[in-house]
Amino acid sequence: ACVHIAVLRLPYENEPYFYKTIMISYDYELLYSLGSMLGIGSKEGLLRLIHRVETYTLDAMSTGVCLAWATEALEKGIISRDDTIVDLKFGDCDAYLKAIDYIVRQPNDFYRNLACGAEHAAKVYGGSDFALTFGKNEMPGYHTGYAAHIGYLIGLRHSHLDNAGYSLDQKLKEYPEPEELVGKLIKEEQWRQVLSSLVVCFFARGVYKADIVRKALKPLGIEISEDELNRLGEKIYFEKLRLKKQMGFDVSELRIPKRILETETPHGKLNEDYIRRTLEYYAKIVSEV
């Protein structure tokens, strides 16, 4: 489910009649961040971008979101061609390939700032409304509703994998009160502490419920009840949250990107007040840790 393989054939630069074949792994996140996020319409262009990012061992989601921010910032006149060096345009694969090189080489102040992430770059130049970051972490490709975005904001790592808010969005027909939604997200994240400790793939989370985990541990000589497993997940979760708080995490500093309020989700447009109410409730939880 995680990895698919594509074949990219490219001519050698100095031998145009000879081709090299590159096997490239990809998944949904890369298609989103280096494809649709950048307006790339060709399979070859997408694979070339993935290959360049992987060659540099950059984070694909962060790179795509940063380049999208830079492109829009250039369009709006917030930054100039002197900053970007190359003329960034949505859909222009060659321009993005050069920009990825510049993120790594950092030939000027702009690329040094962009290499620090979209949140940092937006603080320096402006354009925070369309800087798609949550807790300074670039957004994954799930604009599915309240649970996804609130999950990014309150997740321990500000990742979609923390609590799978996008999955909750798919199941909910109507949203509960903000406090209840936060509770659902935290409960999922607490259980994931158990699964990740057991090195269980989250794609298999629907199989490895507490009862199955308990039975799987029994042949290893580990006798543990479902309640004990849940308490263990809760303990690990709050240990991590406590450490995060000690390292300076402050809920009041979390920023809601305005762009997510402007774009339709499967549940319609999002209401900022609802999101802020969830953050207020979450802040109370953090304050008691």
pTM (predicted TM-score): 0.91
pLDDT digits (tens, 9 = 90+) for 223-269: 999 999 999 999 999 999 999 999 999 999 999 999 999 999 999 99
Domain ranges across the chain: 4-128, 142-287
| 142-287: CATH number | 1.10.599.10
pLDDT digits (tens, 9 = 90+) for 51-87: 999 999 999 999 999 999 999 999 999 999 999 999 9
Backbone phi, psi, residue 10, to 5°: -130, 140
Identical fold at 4-128 and 142-287?
no
Query: Tell me, what DSSP letter sits at residue 219?
Result: G
How crowded is the C-beta side of 145, counted as CA atoms within 13 Å? 18
Domain 4-128 indexed as CATH 1.10.569.10: yes
CA distances from 96 to 88, 103, 116, 123 (A): 7, 10, 17, 22
